[in-house]
Amino acid sequence: MSEIIVSPSLLSADFSRLDQDIAMINDSEAQWLHLDIMDGVFVENISFGFPIIESIKDICKKKLDVHLMIVEPWKFTERLAELGVYMMGVHYEACPHLHRVVQRIKKAGMKACVTLNPHTPVELLEDILPDLDMVLLMSVNPGFGGQTFIPNTVAKTARLKAMIERKNCHTLIQIDGGVNYETGKQLVEAGADSLVAGSFVFGNDNPTEVIKNLKNLLYEQ
C-alpha cells in the first residue's frame, strides 16, 4: 500500500453550508467521501438519503463511499449505481444472503464492501472474503458520530489482515469510528488501508491539514 485512503464522513459536515464543505473536500487530499445512510430501524438514527447524494454527485470530485446502515440494503443497489457510487457497503448483520448481495453490487458496476459491527468476529467472513473489495470494521457502535473508539478494533484489524494475507486476497480494510491521529496510527500499523473520520475532520479549524496528516500516517515514525 502506497498511502492511506482517507474518507471523510459527510455526516459530520455542516448541512447548512454543504456546498462549502464539499468544496473543502475537493481541495483536500482525501480520495473518497464517506456517506453514512441510516434508516432508524437497523440503527437508532436517521441521517440522509438519495436527495443528498443526488445534490452532491455532480459537484463532488471524490469517489463516493456509501455505508448503508439500513435493513434490506440490496433493494437500493441499482439506484446507487445510477448515482455514480464507487463503493457500496452493506452490513453483514443485515444480509442473510450476503453472497447474493455482493454479486448484485458487482453486477451493478460498483465495488463491494461488507461492514461488521464491533461484536461481529472477522472470522465469519472467511468464505466470502475473496469476493470482497473492502471490509469496513466499525470501531464504535453504528448510528451516531463522535463516539469513543473501541480499543479491541486494533487487534480485530490485525486478525482480518492476517486472514486476507493467508487467503492471498487484495481486500482493503477500512475503519470507521473514533479515528484520530493516535488511533489512526495504531490501526494503520495493524493493517488498515482506509480511515473514515467525521468530527475529527469537520470539527477542526484546518480540516484539509487533518486529512493530509491522516493520509501520511504510514510515513510517520
| CA-wise closest residue to 191 among 220, 165, 168, 152 | 165
Encode pLDDT of 165-200 as tens digits: 999 999 999 999 999 999 999 999 999 999 999 999
Angstrom distances, CA of residue 71 to CA of 2, 25, 58, 76: 35, 29, 27, 11
Place of cell 437497523: 42
Over the stretch 94-108, which tens digit does the pLDDT of each residue have? Answer: 999 999 999 999 999
Q: Tell me what the mean pLDDT of segment 61-90 comes to.
A: 98
Could you list the active site residues? 36, 176
Name the residue ranges covered by the structural domains of the chain: 5-219
Q: Which CATH class is domain 5-219?
A: alpha beta
Q: What is the pLDDT of residue 2?
A: 64
pLDDT-derived band of residue 144, with 50, 70 and 90 as boundaries? Answer: low
Checking if the pLDDT of 121 tops 60, the result is yes
Q: Which three cell numbers stand for residue 71?
A: 435493513
Lowest mean pLDDT among 11-20, 62-71, 143-152: 143-152
Q: Which grid coordinates are listed for 165?
A: 494475507
What DSSP designation does 25 have? H
Supply the angle between the helices 18-27 and 207-215 in degrees, to the nearest 10. 40
Distance (Å, whole) CA 27 – CA 94:
35
Q: Is 200 helix (H, G, I), strand (E, B) or coil?
A: helix
Q: What is the mean pLDDT of the chain?
A: 94
